[in-house]
Amino acid sequence: MNWLPLYAVALALVLAFYVVRRQRQQRAHAAELQQALEAGLIEPPSLHPVVDPLTCIGSGSCVKACPEGALGMVGGKATLVNAAACIGHGACHAACPFEAIRLVFGTERRGIDIPDVSPQFESNVPGLFIAGELGGMGLIRKAAEQGRQAVDAIRRRGGSGFELDVVIVGCGPAGLSAGLACIEHGLRYKLLEQEDSLGGAVFHYPRQKIAMTAPVKLAVVGQVRFGEVQKEALLEFWNGVVDKTGLRIEFRECLQDIVADGEGFVVHTQQHAYRTRCVLLAMGRRGTPRKLDVPGEDSPKVCYRLIDAAQYGGQRVLVVGGGDSALEAALALAAEPGTTVTLSYRSEAFSRVKARNRDALQLAQRDGRIEVLLSSQVEAIAADRVTLRLAEGRRELPNDAVIVCAGGLLPTPLLQKVGIRFETKFGTA
């Protein structure tokens, strides 16, 4: 019996299934790109991929490697369909078999300021070093390597007569790695973190987000052979490293100013002034959370991110903000049993949010799970209530928690005041 026709039919069916499935995926990706264009969400926040259509063969390996779903296949080529979701870890770049992807900063329309640093990560201000995301490196492995190398350069500089050898600002991968290098070299250091948790930008990733895709070398610890690891596992690892090595971290110390002092610096926070030979800035580009500047904002019930919606179960929560982070926080809270959620936004409409978030909010509002107060502003926060100013007058709401999702203030003005030069990148490496 001649089996060749049967094999040909089976192969044709498989090929047809593949083509139909691929076309369906491409239509979905094209629709996602169109939604992003209509919402104005086309500017990536930091490091992001640019695909060369002449080199791209459309294998889709980069799309599969992107855990955020920022890349899709449109017209047979890889395309950044959800720029706002890109966090710049570079997994797509590593996955491309034909080097069709470049990782760049900024776009032709919107530039990103990147500080000018030497190969040793020293800025144009002698003794002031920059590593990690602030210097344009969002990749965890490379940020950690930069932190380690910057401390090695600080160690070689020498100098005496200072309280500290280095003040490290920021407790993300670069700062943590730098702190470990200080322990290894016996340097006197202070590691400052403005929040109450380590991890930097990684801490703010959504649950179960893939956070690292390559091994990394850490001082004291040695080679850490992570492949793909979720955020929770990586944070657990970092906390374990801190416990085992005795790495000292000063939490809730926000950088206020850096003042030149002879051949060194005085680093000012809200609580202290540290005299140091060198400074290593390892903070992220999220900046300091934007505050409301209203009475009661210093209350423990006020926070500037939503980490775990379950902890607010059964409470009365006010979310402040009008971006995707605010809508996503409100929706996550509304899914918790017994939680009463109010969303306050100062403008008349949510103009720059993803369509799916806007649609989900409208559905939750229709079902009575979220109350939306547009053209409203917080006036005061008390122990058991908040006061809002609306067009029709003031309104008091019973309240147990306030989550402010109003963006951050980048440290660029402070760094320019110190004398650090920046280069504006418009879609370049």
HSE at residue 318, side-chain half, CA atoms within 13 A, is 31
**Which CATH number does the domain 4-104 belong to among 3.40.120.10, 3.30.70.20, 3.40.50.720, 3.20.20.70?**
3.30.70.20
The hierarchical CATH code for the domain 302-408 is 3.50.50.60
* CA–CA gap between residue 217 and residue 148 (Å, rounded): 9
β-pairing, 273-281 with 264-269?
Answer: antiparallel
Domain-by-domain residue ranges, the chain? 4-104, 113-287+410-425, 302-408
Please write the tens of the pLDDT for every residue from 399-418: 999 999 887 766 778 888 88
pLDDT the model gives residue 90 = 73
With a pLDDT cut of 90, the percent of the chain lying above it is 31
Task: Inform me whether the pLDDT recorded for 199 exceeds 70.
Answer: no
Amino acid code (one letter) for 42 = I
Strand partners, 374: 345
> Over the stretch 92-120, which tens digit does the pLDDT of each residue have?
887 888 888 888 877 777 777 778 888 88
Do 113-287+410-425 and 302-408 come out as alike in CATH topology? Answer: yes
Confidence (pLDDT) at 298: 84
Say what the pLDDT of residue 425 is: 74
Residue 290: name the closest of 154, 407, 140 by CA.
407
Phi-psi map region of 197: left, alpha, beta (phi>0 left; psi -120 to 50 alpha): beta
In degrees to the nearest 10, what's the CA dihedral of 330, 331, 337, 338?
A: 40
pLDDT tens-digit readout, 18-64: 666 777 877 877 777 777 666 666 677 677 888 888 888 888 888 88
Alpha-carbon gap, residue 244 to 266, rounded angstroms: 30
CATH class belonging to 113-287+410-425: alpha beta
- pLDDT tens string 386-396: 999 998 899 99
**Residue 396's pLDDT is what?**
94
DSSP state of 290: P
Using the 8-state DSSP alphabet, how is residue 282 labeled? -
CA 155 to chain centre: 30
pLDDT bracket for residue 198 (50, 70, 90): low
Which residues touch 320 (CB under 8 Å, ≥6 apart)?
292, 326, 344, 345, 378, 402, 403, 404, 405, 406
In this predicted structure, what is the pLDDT of residue 309? 86
What's the confidence (pLDDT) of residue 49? Answer: 86
DSSP code per residue over 158-208: ---S-SEEEEEE--SHHHHHHHHHHHHHT--EEEEESSSSSSGGGGGSPTT
- Count of CB atoms within 10 A of residue 177's CB? 32
pLDDT in tens, 144-186: 889 999 999 999 887 777 889 999 998 888 899 999 999 999 9
pLDDT at 200 exceeding the cut of 60: no
| φ, ψ (nearest 5 deg) of residue 285 | -95, 5
- Provide the H-helix boundaries in 40-128: 61-65, 91-95
**291-334 confidence digits (pLDDT tens):** 888 999 888 888 887 877 888 999 999 999 988 889 989 999 99
